[in-house]
Amino acid sequence: MLDLYFWGTNNGYRARTMVEETGLPYNLHPVSLAKLEQLSDDFRKLHIGHKIPVLVDSDGPGGRTVIPESPAILRYLARKTNSPLIPKDERTLVEMETWFSYGIATFCPILAQHGYFTFRSSEDVPGAKKYYDTYARDLYTVINQHLGTRDYFAGNEISLADYGLYADVRQYAKSYPPENYPNVKKWYDRVSARPAVQRAYAPI
C-alpha cells in the first residue's frame, strides 16, 4: 500500500498526480503547513527536512520504504510500475531528463522565490520582486518557445518532464497566466485534461 503525505502545493500535487498516474491504491494524509504539522516529531521521522510530499511504500524494495522529495517520488513510482512516463528510447530519455531537471531545479525554485517575495514576505523588497519576476518571465518565454514545435516537453508523448513543470505552471497561473503564452496554454490544457491530473486536483 502507498501512503502519501501531502498538502495542496505545487510539490504536493506533483507527487499526487504521479500516484494517480500509477493507478495504484493509496491513502492520502494531509499535513497542514498552515498548522506547521510538518514540524511535528512524527512527521520529522518521515523527513528530517520537514517538507511535504513524502511517499511511504509498505511494499517497497526490501520492505517499507520512505521517499521524500517530489522528483524522487516521481522517478520511484515510474520505475516501480515500468511507466511509459520514462521513455525507453535513449534519445528521448535524455530530452526527458533535461526538461525534468529544468522543471525541478530551475523553474520551480525561481517561481518559489517569486511567490515568496510577491505574496508572503513580511518585508517589501522591490529589487527581489523585480529580479524574480524578470527571471520567471524569461523561463516562461523559454518553455513557450520549446513547446512551439511539440505537444510535450520530450518526444511525442507525455513524460516525467511534463510533470516536472505542470504543477508549478498551475500554481502560479494567477501571476503568469498560461493564456499569455499560447504554446504553454495548449500544453497546459492537454495535461490538465488527463484523468490522473483531474483526480489529483479534485478536492480532498
Give the interface with ligand GSH as residue ranges (CB under 6 A). 9-11, 33, 38, 50-53, 69-71
User: Which residue number, 48 or 193, has a Cβ lying nearer to ligand GSH?
Assistant: 48
Query: Is 57:77 a contact under the CB 8 Å cutoff?
Result: no
* Furthest CA-CA distance within the chain: 51
Which cell numbers in the block locate residue 136? 520567471
Q: Which is nearer to ligand GSH, 108 or 181 (CB)?
A: 108
Asked if residues 187 and 179 have their Cβ atoms less than 8 Å apart, the reply is no
Q: How far is the CB of 78 from ligand GSH (least distance, A)?
A: 15
Count Cβ neighbours within 10 Å for each residue of 40-74 and write b for 16 or more, e otherwise.
eeebeebbeebbbbbbbbeeeeeeeeebbbbbebb
Nearer to ligand GSH, 13 or 153 (CB): 13
CB 73 within 8 A of CB 57: no
C-alpha cell, 105? 531545479
- Quote the CA–CA distance of 179 and 25 in Å, as a whole number: 35
CB of 50 to ligand GSH, least distance (A): 5
Q: Which is nearer to ligand GSH, 52 or 110 (CB)?
A: 52
User: CB of residue 136 vs ligand GSH: minimum separation in angstroms?
Assistant: 17
CB under 8 Å to 174, separation ≥6 — which residues? none
Q: What's the min distance (Å) between Cβ of 183 and ligand GSH?
A: 25
- The minimum distance between CB 71 and ligand GSH, in angstroms, equals 6
User: Toward ligand GSH, which CB reaches closer, 15 or 147?
Assistant: 15
